[in-house]
Amino acid sequence: MNSEQNNGPSQGQGFEDQEQLYSPIQSGQPAAAPKKRLGWKIFWGIIFVLSVLGNIALFLILIGVIAFFAAGKEGILAEDIIQKGPRTSKIAMITVQGIIDDQQSRDFYEQLKAAREDKHVKGVIVRVNSPGGAVSSSDQIHNEISRYREKTGEPVVAFMQGLAASGGYYISVPCDRIVAEPTTITGSVGVLMGHFVLQGLLEEKLGIQPEVVKSGLKKDWPSPFKPMTEEQRKYIEDKLITPAYERFVQLVADGRSELTLEDVKRLADGSIYGAQEALDEKMIDKIGYMAEAIEEVKSLAGLEEAQVVEYGKPFNWSSILGAGAWGITKIDKSTLYELSAPEVLYLWDAYR
């Protein structure tokens, strides 16, 4: 009897009770395994996330270190050596590339300031490859070159590389000499202004009728909502085009002593000129390449040898971490106004 009681279920004990008696849950050991496996998964998941974040942080630090050593201190212009020579006799080369706008003007100012403050700089080359641009920006660069020559007494040579039309020519004429590559296009002395007329699109296509409330008859001239009348066109010419044109012509005559005011007016009909024709018309001084431009500066500065340097853009953390570095463009009312507003330009129109 005792043997039966010890070896088998007691009387009245069912199969369900037997299953519970011998169930693995009662032993406790296998049930802990899934919990342990889940804990390890969470642990390694946290380690993986921390590892990814750490690698990203190290990558950003590496970029910062490279940028720091490549560009130097924040706000300081880097120098690239274009031609080797004694560091105590330097020629600074400043490039104006593409459309001349406010940013070009600011960059040019910073670079010319660096040249002025460097006691080893003995002359400047203004390398121009531009169809021109905004009237005010072109005029600011012209003014900076004139002031530099007046304050330092050091020579400035313009080197036209490919294209130096309209505003590109405007910023070349205050220099002591102008050297142009054989394939250069220059000239286009003149002014233009254009704007969009949206009347047909708004009224005929979209059914939108603009309404403008203004304090005077001429307050909205020219308007994007209707074509200009002859009276409006004459008004714009008198107020904007003619003054800008006359200033352009006068500054060319002032900068090019070989040309009289009448000579400039004859040339200033918006025409473009190749290098040889520009040389024949005394709009430039020499046809050549960078080597000839360097020799011109050395000759004017009385130098036998010189180191030629080119400035890079100043290092700025905001340029790396800011919205602009990631291609984020902010569209607001100011941007829309700039896109739609008419602008007076020293620009060769064929470039657009």
Q: Catalytic residue at 36?
A: no
Q: Is 74 in contact with 106 (CB distance < 8 Å)? A: no
Alpha-carbon gap, residue 146 to 255, rounded angstroms = 10
**Marked catalytic residue, from 130, 166, 172, 188:** 166
- Which H or E run includes 234? helix 230-236
- Helix, strand and coil percent figures for the chain, each rounded to 5: 50, 20, 35
Burial level of 116, CB count in 10 A (0-12/13-18/19+)? middle
Q: Is 181 in contact with 161 (CB distance < 8 Å)? A: yes
DSSP character for 193?
E
Phi, psi of 233, deg, nearest 5: -60, -45
184: tokens are 């250069």
Alpha-carbon gap, residue 163 to 275, rounded angstroms = 10
Q: Is 96 in contact with 171 (CB distance < 8 Å)? A: yes
Exposure letters 58-68 (e unless 16+ CB within 10 A, then b) = eeeeeeeeebe
**Marked catalytic residue, from 41, 214, 218, 219:** 219
Angle separating helix axes 102-117 and 135-152, nearest 10 degrees: 10
Alpha-carbon gap, residue 23 to 284, rounded angstroms = 103
Q: Catalytic residue at 105?
A: no
Q: Is 304 in contact with 293 (CB distance < 8 Å)? A: no
170: tokens are 């405007």
How many other C-beta atoms are found inside a 10 Å radius of the C-beta of residue 118?
14
Closest CA to 255 of 175, 141, 190: 175
Question: In the block, which residue shows the tokens 């660069």?
Answer: 141
Q: Which residues are catalytic?
A: 166, 219
